[in-house]
């Protein structure tokens, strides 16, 4: 699913009107009906039936007026408060006229009490995608009052004061919504941690916006949802054997961190790899063999950390990082691996796929000269701190996305920035935000599980580097969601994610 800019969203609205031969008032009515239907489902309890709708001067306010009329018709106790303005949009005026006289209407002032319903809901229809500058004056005062009242706020389209696709100045007034209900496509702002307190739970409702305009419009931002991923895992051919699904090598573990190697290996095996060999420090041999009998095991000359790179010929994919530690010997191993992957094709296995994570990323951050050796389509899986060690600090989440895009393009690699909406950057400059996963997965070992699953899918001959990476992050999140349904988020541990990789992949299998 694409994510469009605020400007493209306006064009999409216009294209929809032209294509479907409807007026903007009719589209506004469709929008208000979709919102109201969602609202009735969400707030059916008697106590929630007192509603204050705050309306700005544009079409977002027009949506609010139409919603007020529809909720009044559904027997909610609705009040409307208008933001004073020099002019209102034509569709706003249309819906103002249609508002039944029985709905009380007041005008907001900078000092007047907001009088938010204690048990009910405030609908924020002050500003949407037409926000052209930070809020000031009465609008800012109203938003501050609203936030202080700690009211249950539902924002229409966007929390007022929040830009759809750009950062707003620090300390500017933005509504803190419990729910944000938007239309057609998600907005970039919803996916960034810095906006979490403003956006709350978000939802996108289908209002039949022009599919052809969406298909033809170019955007770097994509949202990987369930529809995107249907059938993403190729079926296993009947006459396949273990070689069909690749032989992966995992370089992982150090004294005290063998669990990372065990978890990554488990995820790789559950990810459907044909064969897995792990190269681990000597101290981990018994631990590893006992806990992962399906994997083969090579031990390093060193007992406590990895100091050697094994012969790479048998493998299609190599994963390095989980529990590696930051011993200096790891730098030489990483350098040798990158050099081997860069050697001319006849001297190394065809298409050696690399997955680089955790301590291997920290080593890269400490030795940035190694970045020049990254082979094309290597996948790096940093969390924001690890990413910062590679690129330097970001000013805000939008700047971080710029750094991410730039890094992936410059080094021609895939970079997965992990977070609530993990973002996969491609060498061609696309940013794919993942939709699965939950806060229970913010727990030790979760990243190691992702590395193992990523490794399995990169070893899979039928998946392109990008398809494998996107599938891995989606399935990892989905496995976490299935696990949390059983354990709850607090009780979820990384091993639970491994257990649910099979069911998650099964949902995504091509029929
Ligand atoms: N078009 C359609 O068919 C559909 C549209 N839909 C709905 O319309 C919404 C977009 O509507 P919109 O474009 O009218 O913008 P909106 O956010 O209401 O505000 C614009 C007004 O606010 C003003 N203004 C801006 N910033 C300000 C500030 N800081 N402080 C004070 N004033 C400020 C601005 O004035 P100006 O910038 O010109 O000075 C202008 O007067 C969209 O989010 C969705 O809810 C849906 O129903 C789907 C169908
Ligand atoms: K709004």
Whether residues 28 and 175 share a domain: the answer is yes
Whether residues 309 and 450 share a domain: the answer is yes
123 lines ligand 1 (CB under 6 A): no
Do 398 and 168 touch, CB atoms closer than 8 A?
A: no
CA of 163 to the centre of ligand 2 (A): 11
Whether residues 246 and 212 share a domain: the answer is no
Whether residues 296 and 149 share a domain: the answer is no
Q: Could you tell me the strand order of the sheet in which 50-55 lies?
A: 105-107, 77-82, 50-55, 121-125, 153-156, 179-183, 201-205
Token representation of residue 327: 């011993």
185 lines ligand 1 (CB under 6 A): no
133 lines ligand 1 (CB under 6 A): yes
Tell me what pLDDT residue 347 has: 54
Atom from ligand 1 closest to the CA of residue 134: 29
Question: H helices within 323-445, ranges in order?
Answer: 329-342, 358-366, 384-391, 397-411
128 lines ligand 1 (CB under 6 A): yes
**What is the best residue among 17, 83, 130, 158 to mutate for testing ligand 1's pocket, by most ligand atoms within 8 Å of CB?**
130
Under DSSP, is residue 501 helix (H, G, I), strand (E, B) or coil?
helix
Domain count for the chain: 2
Nearest ligand to the CA atom of 183: 1
CA of 216 to the centre of ligand 2 (A): 28
- List residues forming the annotated binding site: 59-63, 124, 128-134, 157, 160, 260, 323, 383, 418-422, 447-448
The answer as to whether 232 is a domain residue is no
184 lines ligand 1 (CB under 6 A): no
What separation in angstroms does the CA of 80 have from each of 153, 158, 161, 366, 442? 14, 18, 19, 58, 41
Tell me what pLDDT residue 463 has: 94
Nearest ligand to the CA atom of 59: 1
The answer as to whether 304 is a domain residue is yes
Q: What is the CATH number of the domain that holds 39?
A: 3.40.50.10260
Question: H helices within 119-225, ranges in order?
Answer: 137-149, 196-199, 211-216
386 lines ligand 1 (CB under 6 A): no
Whether residues 208 and 272 share a domain: the answer is no
Whether residues 204 and 293 share a domain: the answer is no
129 lines ligand 1 (CB under 6 A): yes
In whole angstroms, what is the distance from residue 128 CA to residue 131 CA?
Answer: 6
Atom from ligand 1 closest to the CA of residue 28: 47
Whether residues 352 and 390 share a domain: the answer is yes
Tell me what pLDDT residue 111 has: 81
CA of 97 to the centre of ligand 1 (A): 19
The answer as to whether 37 is a domain residue is yes
Q: What is the CATH number of the domain that holds 369?
A: 3.40.1190.20
Atom from ligand 1 closest to the CA of residue 10: 1
CA of 395 to the centre of ligand 2 (A): 26
**296 forms bridges with which residues in the sheet?**
277
Q: Of the candidates 169, 188, 219, which is a domain's last residue? A: 219
Radius of gyration of the chain (CA): 26
Nearest ligand to the CA atom of 60: 1
Atom from ligand 1 closest to the CA of residue 31: 47
Nearest CA to ligand 1 atom 30: 135
CA of 62 to the centre of ligand 1 (A): 9
- List residues forming the annotated binding site for K(+): 60, 124, 160
pLDDT tens digits, the chain, 511 residues: what are they?
999 999 999 999 999 999 999 999 999 999 999 999 999 999 998 877 899 999 999 999 999 999 999 999 999 999 999 999 999 999 999 999 999 999 999 999 888 788 889 889 999 999 999 999 999 999 999 999 999 998 899 999 999 999 999 998 988 999 999 999 999 999 999 999 999 999 999 999 999 999 999 999 999 999 999 999 999 999 988 888 877 799 999 999 999 999 999 999 999 999 999 999 999 999 999 999 999 999 999 999 999 999 999 999 999 999 999 999 888 899 999 999 999 998 765 555 566 999 999 999 999 999 999 999 999 999 999 999 999 999 999 999 999 999 999 999 999 999 999 999 999 999 999 999 999 999 999 999 999 999 999 999 999 989 999 999 999 999 999 999 999 999 999 999 999 999 999 999 999 998 7
359 lines ligand 1 (CB under 6 A): no
The answer as to whether 228 is a domain residue is no
Q: Directed axis angle between helix 446-459 and helix 358-366, to 10°? A: 90
Cα angle for residues 396, 398, 402 (degrees, 5° grid): 115
CA of 127 to the centre of ligand 2 (A): 5
Element (H, E) at 279: strand 275-280
The answer as to whether 365 is a domain residue is yes
- List residues forming the annotated binding site for (6S)-NADPHX: 59-63, 128-134, 157, 260, 323, 383, 448
Whether residues 453 and 311 share a domain: the answer is yes
Give pTM, 2 decimals: 0.96
Whether residues 147 and 249 share a domain: the answer is no
Segments forming the whole domain that contains residue 384:
242-507
199 lines ligand 1 (CB under 6 A): no
CA of 280 to the centre of ligand 2 (A): 54
**What is the best residue among 33, 131, 160 to mutate for testing ligand 1's pocket, by most ligand atoms within 8 Å of CB?**
131
Rounded to the nearest 5°, which phi and psi values hold at 408? -65, -35
Nearest CA to ligand 1 atom 1: 13
In whole angstroms, what is the distance from residue 298 CA to residue 280 CA?
Answer: 6
The answer as to whether 237 is a domain residue is no
Whether residues 386 and 272 share a domain: the answer is yes
Whether residues 202 and 320 share a domain: the answer is no
Cα angle for residues 35, 41, 44 (degrees, 5° grid): 115
Token representation of residue 342: 């860069």
ipTM: 0.97
139 lines ligand 1 (CB under 6 A): yes
63 lines ligand 1 (CB under 6 A): yes
The answer as to whether 225 is a domain residue is no
The 3-state secondary structure of 394-424, one letter per residue: CCCHHHHHHHHHHHHHHHCCEEEECCCCCEE
Atom from ligand 1 closest to the CA of residue 87: 41
Whether residues 166 and 246 share a domain: the answer is no
The answer as to whether 231 is a domain residue is no
234 lines ligand 1 (CB under 6 A): no
């Amino acid at each position: 699913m694409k994510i469009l800019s605020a400007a493209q969203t306006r064009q999409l609205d216009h294209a929809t009107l032209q294509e479907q031969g409807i007026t903007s008032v009719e589209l506004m009515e469709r929008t208000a009906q979709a919102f109201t239907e969602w609202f009735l489902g969400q707030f059916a309890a008697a106590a929630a039936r007192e509603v204050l709708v705050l309306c700005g001067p544009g079409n977002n306010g027009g949506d609010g007026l139409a919603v007020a009329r529809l909720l009044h018709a559904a027997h909610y106790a609705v009040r409307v408060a208008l933001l004073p303005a020099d002019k209102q949009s034509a569709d706003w005026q249309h819906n103002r006229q249609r508002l039944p006289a029985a709905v009380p209407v007041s005008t907001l002032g900078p000092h007047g009490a907001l009088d938010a319903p204690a048990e009910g809901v405030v609908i924020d229809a002050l500003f949407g995608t037409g926000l052209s500058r930070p809020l000031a004056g009465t609008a800012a005062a109203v938003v501050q009052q609203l936030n202080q009242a700690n009211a249950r706020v539902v924002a229409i389209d966007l929390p007022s004061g929040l830009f759809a696709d750009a950062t707003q100045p620090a300390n500017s007034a933005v509504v803190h919504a419990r729910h944000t209900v938007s239309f057609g496509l998600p907005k970039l702002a919803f996916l960034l941690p810095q906006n979490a307190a403003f956006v709350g739970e978000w939802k996108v409702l289908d209002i039949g916006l022009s599919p052809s305009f969406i298909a033809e419009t170019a955007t770097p931002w994509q949202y990987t949802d369930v529809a995107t991923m249907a059938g993403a895992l190729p079926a296993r051919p009947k006459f396949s054997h273990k070689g069909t699904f690749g032989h992966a090598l995992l370089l992982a573990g150090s004294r005290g961190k063998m669990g990372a190697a065990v978890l990554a290996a488990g995820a790789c095996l559950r990810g459907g790899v044909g064969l897995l060999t792990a190269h681990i420090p000597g101290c981990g041999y018994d631990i590893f063999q006992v806990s992962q009998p399906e994997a083969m095991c090579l031990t390093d000359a060193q007992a406590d950390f990895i100091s050697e790179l094994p012969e790479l010929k048998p493998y299609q994919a190599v994963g390095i990082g989980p529990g590696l530690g930051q011993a200096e010997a790891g730098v030489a191993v990483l350098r040798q691996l990158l050099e081997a992957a860069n050697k001319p094709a006849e001297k190394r296995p065809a298409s050696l796929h690399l997955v680089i994570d955790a301590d291997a990323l920290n080593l890269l951050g400490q030795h940035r000269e190694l970045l020049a050796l990254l082979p094309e389509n290597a996948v790096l899986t940093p969390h924001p701190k690890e990413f910062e060690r590679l690129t330097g600090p970001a000013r805000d989440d939008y700047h971080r996305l710029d750094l991410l895009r730039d890094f992936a393009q410059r080094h021609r690699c895939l970079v997965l920035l992990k977070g609530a909406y993990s973002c996969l950057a491609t060498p061609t400059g696309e940013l794919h935000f993942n939709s699965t996963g939950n806060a229970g997965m913010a727990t030790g070992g979760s990243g190691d599980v992702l590395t193992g699953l990523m490794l399995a899918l990169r070893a899979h001959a039928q998946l392109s580097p990008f398809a494998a990476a996107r599938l891995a992050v989606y399935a990892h999140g989905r496995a976490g969601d299935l696990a949390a349904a059983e354990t709850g988020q607090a009780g979820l541990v990384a091993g639970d994610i491994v257990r649910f990789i099979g069911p998650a992949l099964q949902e995504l299998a091509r029929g």
